[in-house]
Structure 1
Amino acid sequence: MRGTRIAVVTFAASLALSGGVVPALTAAAAPGPTAKYIVAVHPSADPGAVAADHERSRGASVTHVYRHALTGYAASLTPAAATSLSADPRVAAVLPDRVVRMSAQSVPPGIDRVGADDSSAVAGDGRGAVDVDIAVLDTGLDPKHRDLNVVGGVNCIQGNNSYLDLNGHGTHVAGTAAAKDNNIGVVGVAPGARLWAVRVLDAGGSGLWSSIICGIDWVTAHADTIEVANMSLGGSGGEGSCTDHGLREAICRSTSAGVAYVVSAGNAATNAAGFVPATYEEVITVSAITDFDGQPGGVGTPTCQIGYDDTFANFSNYGPDVDLTAPGVCVTSTWRGGGYRSISGTSMASPHVAGAAALFLSTHPGATPAQVRAALRDTGTTNWVGDPDTTQEPLLNVASL
């Protein structure tokens, strides 16, 4: 956390994406301390049946079964039991689970700066709603917030059956993407778009890799309804592949199903190439700029923190994996409990682009995630300064969408 800024989700351990399995043991698993694992099974096998069998034969305590974005399950197992699973011909890979942590009606300056008040939705005119569905994979949403059109969701955090936001981060992200145009509070880039709460982080902003895959799996199962997914989270890790049996494979399958994923670049002020999912080719990765007045020119007065208007945010990750930039400093949006708050981070930049993706899809239904990314990049501008690398990513501009 940097000042009052909520940091983008950071993995507590490196997410090295390994497609291999642990060497086999012939001995039966002995009782002992357990750890958390993700078990990928071959597509020809029923993951539910395999999980049930491993509960009986290996003492697995199953927490999630994946059928859509990944084929497999997550469970607590003794290390010996996890090792022995490679002897099962139905098992494709056994991966350690990882801990994750979160990253962080007026017309907010960011909404003005990206041209949402000039878009087809005319954000801020007090009427209309965007006919698109956005999933927010985060700390949950406040379903009773009068400025949000929350239509349902799922909880992927063990020990809790509710997708209610007990942190505030997810509700803030949702408001930037899609707060209603209702003459109260704030307005989002895609006003009134239907929001699906996908709770993958707990009240403290922590979660597990298995929970994130659970959320992606759920979104993929509803890909006929949900067109856009925002993930203001991430952490250090390798690029992986679409057959790594882990996070990358889940996102690959979900984007192939037609869901456009928008993710934050990260808040470590370094190259995003070392961060996942920001480095994945399938997602739209978003860095952050400072914007205090909603206008170009660099003359805005700092609001919630010190900085220079219309410059690259000093905390934002950068590099060739970044597709777009958007306002991410002192962003005012909805907060849990029906309130509003101003916070900073690439977590706040990402939902500007998720809302833009929804805007584009509202007039281009059926566009692929790659087409969405190309359209948003093509309409972007370069009226900002301070990019720390040699290639300046476009600043989101939805005025023509």
Structure 2
Amino acid sequence: MRRRTTAILLACALAGATGLTAQAAPAPAAPAPEGDYIVVLKDGTDAKAKADKHSQDNGARVGHLYQSALKGYSGRMSAQSRDRVAADPDVAWVEPVRQVRSTAQSLPTGVDRANADASPTAAIDGVDQRTDVDVAVIDTGVDSGHPDLNVVGGKNCTLPVLPPEDGNGHGTHVAGTIGALDNGDGVVGVAPGARIWPVKVLNDAGMGTTADVVCGIDYVAAHAGEIDVANMSLGGAGTDDGQCGRASGDSEHQAICRAVGAGVTFAVAAGNDAADAKDSTPAAYDEVITVSALADFNGQPGGGAPATCRDDQDDTFADFSNFGADVDLIAPGVCINSTWPNGAYNTISGTSMATPHVAGGAALHKATNPAATPEQVKNALQQAGTTDWTFPSKTRTAPRNPS
């Protein structure tokens, strides 16, 4: 139904004197600037062996090693070294690392509006019966000790020596909307008790790089037999080349394509710039479920509910949300209450909050249809959706087939 697409990686000075006249040595040359890059290797190449060789021959300082979603590595090197690496016949492309950022028991209004409480699979009744499904939260990490979350596994791509704990709050909030326990306390998620795999790719300020994001996707792809769904409530500038990143040299896109091909369903945030999602990635990629935000203040259709934590209109497309033909679904994303670090709860807004409603829905579908492909999951969620909300057409063009 869609689209066309959406980075810091050495010198000698010679001095001397000639004849009978002493000469001052020239000033040392300034070190060549370095940059951070992602090196994508051609299929069949041994990533570790090639990274080691590039480090030895070209001075590349290797960061992440990618071996599942794609073959390659991230590294810091000079522009001259980059050019030598790019000339290696085993290298598909070299791209600069880009910055990415987060897009930020009662029955939460979003869970109510998504009708998760009516799902026999979710079985929300205050009894801790857990959904048999695994969801990766590619984000700021997750509070592993939160009493309302079922946290397993995980990886820290920002500081690999540390566990993927959340010092920001964003990832923990996302995790709660997906799978907070139905235990009679705090809040409840769309797929209560789902096993949450924290994959930390954003720092405690909610910022990160594509090198870390690809590391996270690579981890998910390596566990594709265990992880069913991945939530990416983050994004940065970019477009979809329609070829899984091969034409534009987009490693994030290729990694997602490989992970989706391995059976993982990806739900991603459309973005919070009130702009067309075609200029933001991963929102622009065809292979994911791109989610915009709905303003809903009472968990029910029909409109008319007063605004709560922010000024918006009930049952309308959220005023901050990205839009366009790349949007696949809309879900509640305004004034969403969910889990927060240190065992707490918090209410925040964003397409980041809308996306885990869809990830939770995808998790419910996978729990009862374990053989469903990512495309089948997307289709099932779209078919189950409704259009009982209003789009403010005065400023935007409505997404196709919204639900």
> Do these two structures clear the TM 0.5 threshold for a shared fold by scoring above it?
yes
Tell me how far apart the structure 2 counterparts of residues 68 and 182 of structure 1 sit (CA, whole Å): 36
Give runs of aligned pairs for residues 130-149 of structure 1, distance below 5 A: 130-149=131-150
2:65 is aligned with what amino acid?
V
Q: Name the counterpart of 1:343.
A: 348
Q: Per-residue CA shift, 1:349-391, capped at 9, x if unaligned? A: 0000000000001110110000000000001011100253244
Tell me how far apart the structure 1 counterparts of residues 133 and 238 of structure 2 sit (CA, whole Å): 32
Q: Does 1:316 align with 2:325?
A: no
How far does residue 122 in structure 1 lie from its aligned partner after superposition?
Answer: 2.5
Change (3 A) 1:284 1:76: same
- Three-state SS of the structure 2 residue aligned to 1:151 is coil
How far does residue 60 in structure 1 lie from its aligned partner after superposition?
Answer: 1.0
Q: Is the 2:327–2:400 Cα contact (8 Å) retained in structure 1?
A: no
Tell me how far apart the structure 1 counterparts of residues 386 and 48 of structure 2 sit (CA, whole Å): 48
Q: Per-residue CA shift, 1:44-80, capped at 9, x if unaligned? A: 2101000011111111111111111111000000111
Question: In percent, how many aligned pairs have the same letter?
Answer: 52
Tell me how far apart the structure 1 counterparts of residues 90 and 31 of structure 2 sit (CA, whole Å): 23
1:199 is aligned with what amino acid?
K
Cα RMSD over matched residues? 1.5
Q: Name the counterpart of 2:34.
A: 34
How far does residue 215 in structure 1 lie from its aligned partner after superposition?
Answer: 0.3
Q: Name the counterpart of 1:180.
A: 181
Q: Name the counterpart of 1:154.
A: 155
- Three-state SS of the structure 2 residue aligned to 1:134 is strand
1:39 is aligned with what amino acid?
V
1:283 is aligned with what amino acid?
V
Give runs of aligned pairs for residues 279-294 of structure 1, distance below 5 A: 279-294=284-299
Change (3 A) 1:390 1:103: closer
Q: Name the counterpart of 1:307.
A: 312
Q: Does 1:227 align with 2:228?
A: yes
Tell me how far apart the structure 2 counterparts of residues 201 and 87 of structure 1 sit (CA, whole Å): 31
How far does residue 316 in structure 1 lie from its aligned partner after superposition?
Answer: 0.4
Give runs of aligned pairs for residues 242-321 of structure 1, distance below 5 A: 242=244, 243=246, 244=249, 246-321=251-326
How far does residue 319 in structure 1 lie from its aligned partner after superposition?
Answer: 0.9
Q: Name the counterpart of 1:236.
A: 237
Q: Does 1:55 align with 2:60?
A: no
1:291 is aligned with what amino acid?
D
How far does residue 126 in structure 1 lie from its aligned partner after superposition?
Answer: 2.7
Q: Per-residue CA shift, 1:217-244, capped at 9, x if unaligned? A: 0000000000000000112212132234
Q: Is the 1:357–1:372 Cα contact (8 Å) retained in structure 2?
A: yes
Q: Name the counterpart of 1:78.
A: 78
Tell me how far apart the structure 1 counterparts of residues 78 and 330 of structure 2 sit (CA, whole Å): 44
Tell me how far apart the structure 2 counterparts of residues 275 and 391 of structure 1 sit (CA, whole Å): 15
1:41 is aligned with what amino acid?
L
Q: Does 1:369 align with 2:370?
A: no
Q: Is the 1:63–1:74 Cα contact (8 Å) retained in structure 2?
A: yes
Change (3 A) 1:307 1:78: same
How far does residue 33 in structure 1 lie from its aligned partner after superposition?
Answer: 3.1
Q: Per-residue CA shift, 1:233-268, capped at 9, x if unaligned? A: 112212132234511111100000000000011101
Q: Name the counterpart of 1:102.
A: 102
Tell me how far apart the structure 2 counterparts of residues 295 and 46 of structure 1 sit (CA, whole Å): 54
Q: Does 1:389 align with 2:394?
A: no
Change (3 A) 1:50 1:351: same
Tell me how far apart the structure 2 counterparts of residues 392 and 69 of structure 1 sit (CA, whole Å): 30
Unmatched runs of 5 consecutive residues or more in structure 2: 7-29
User: Which segment drifts farther, 369-378 or 36-45?
Assistant: 36-45
Q: How many residues align?
A: 368
Q: Is the 1:382–1:392 Cα contact (8 Å) retained in structure 2?
A: no
TM-score relative to the length of structure 2: 0.89
Q: Name the counterpart of 2:11.
A: none
How far does residue 96 in structure 1 lie from its aligned partner after superposition?
Answer: 0.6
Q: Per-residue CA shift, 1:26-59, capped at 9, x if unaligned? A: xxxx963321000111112101000011111111
Q: Is the 1:136–1:230 Cα contact (8 Å) retained in structure 2?
A: yes
Q: Name the counterpart of 1:204.
A: 205
Tell me how far apart the structure 2 counterparts of residues 336 and 190 of structure 1 sit (CA, whole Å): 20
Q: Does 1:43 align with 2:48?
A: no
Q: Name the counterpart of 1:215.
A: 216
Q: Is the 1:138–1:198 Cα contact (8 Å) retained in structure 2?
A: yes
How far does residue 289 in structure 1 lie from its aligned partner after superposition?
Answer: 0.7
2:69 is aligned with what amino acid?
A
User: Which segment drifts farther, 324-333 or 39-48?
Assistant: 39-48
Q: Name the counterpart of 2:338.
A: 333
Q: Name the counterpart of 1:26.
A: none
- Three-state SS of the structure 1 residue aligned to 2:175 is helix
- Three-state SS of the structure 2 residue aligned to 1:288 is strand
Q: Name the counterpart of 1:127.
A: 128
- Three-state SS of the structure 2 residue aligned to 1:111 is helix
1:109 is aligned with what amino acid?
T
1:349 is aligned with what amino acid?
A
Tell me how far apart the structure 2 counterparts of residues 109 and 53 of structure 1 sit (CA, whole Å): 54
Q: Is the 2:323–2:398 Cα contact (8 Å) retained in structure 1?
A: no
**Structure 1 moving runs of 4+ over 6 Å:** none
How far does residue 125 in structure 1 lie from its aligned partner after superposition?
Answer: 3.4
